[in-house]
Amino acid sequence: MALLDDNTREQVKDLLSKMENNVKFVLFQGENEYSKVTGELLNELKEVEPKIELEMLNIDDPKADVYDIEKDLTPAIVLLDKDNNDNGIRFYGIPSGHEFSTLLQDILSVSSGNRVDFSEETQNKIKTIDKKMRIRVFITPTCPYCPKAVFSGHQSALLNDNIIGEMIEANEFGPLSSEHGVSSVPHTVIEIFNGDEWEKSGEFIGAYPEQQFIDELMKAVG
């Protein structure tokens, strides 16, 4: 049974007709139902728009290490541009519900050569970040405010190769959510790589406006 009904397919087809270049999803799957469903969803997107390519791999594949995918976080989606460049965009869990719109926005951004919606001032600040940063946004599919938070993290990753922007489905990854004390969403955790491991350097709850968001990033850098 298809995940996207005919009406949704037509809407998606219309939206993705604006794609300028090819993009590629690399999906890392584990032995769980979420991985299977995510594979089906991405396959349906590929059927709707021929500019979308898809590579599905087991989490044990060596490429998982290339993209720094943690073994216990599947399904994991990496979004590549037309030249197979990794722009730091990650989805952990099914990008369903409100997050499906984020997935579509990301496709258009990467397809257009990493177009971002931030102001020039914000873009310039993000480009100055010289430490490896991970923006982890915990979400639930029913949260209407979560896409804005996830998209901000992904847009930051598009601007700076030091940044990885992650969507993490809080319900699918309960232990990780508990580790970070996630009770309300969106819950954003900012981590800095110290050379050996990732360290939490900041966090906030809610979909912050652009200025507050960039303030949190710069504060986390120190």
The three state secondary structure string of 84-143 is CCEEEEEEECCCCCCHHHHHHHHHHHHHCCCCCCCCHHHHHHHHCCCCCEEEEEEECCCC
Q: Could you tell me how many residues make up the chain? A: 222
In a domain, 89, yes or no: no
Q: Give me the pLDDT at residue 54, please.
A: 98
- Per-residue pLDDT band for 222 (boundaries 50, 70, 90) equals confident
The residue to which tokens 């969803």 are assigned: 41
Q: Is residue 153 part of a domain?
A: yes
Predicted confidence at residue 76, as pLDDT, reads 99
Residue 12 lies in a domain: no
Confidence of residue 41 (pLDDT cuts 50, 70, 90): very high
Instruction: Using a pLDDT cut of 70, give the percent of the chain over it.
Output: 100
Q: Say if 30 falls within a structural domain.
A: no
Q: How many domains does the chain have?
A: 1
The residue segments making up the domain with residue 208 are: 116-222
Report whether 137 contacts 187 (CB < 8 A): yes
Token pair of 23, please?
Answer: 């993009």
Q: Is the residue at 131 inside a domain? A: yes
Convert the pLDDT of each residue in 88-127 to its tens digit.
999 999 999 999 999 999 999 999 988 899 999 999 999 9
CATH code for the domain of 215: 3.40.30.10
Interval 141-176: pLDDT, tens: 999 999 999 999 999 999 999 999 999 999 999 999
Across the range 57-64, mean pLDDT stands at: 98
- 157 assigned to some structural domain: yes
Q: How confident is the model at residue 1 (pLDDT cuts 50, 70, 90)?
A: low
- Average model confidence (pLDDT) across the chain: 97
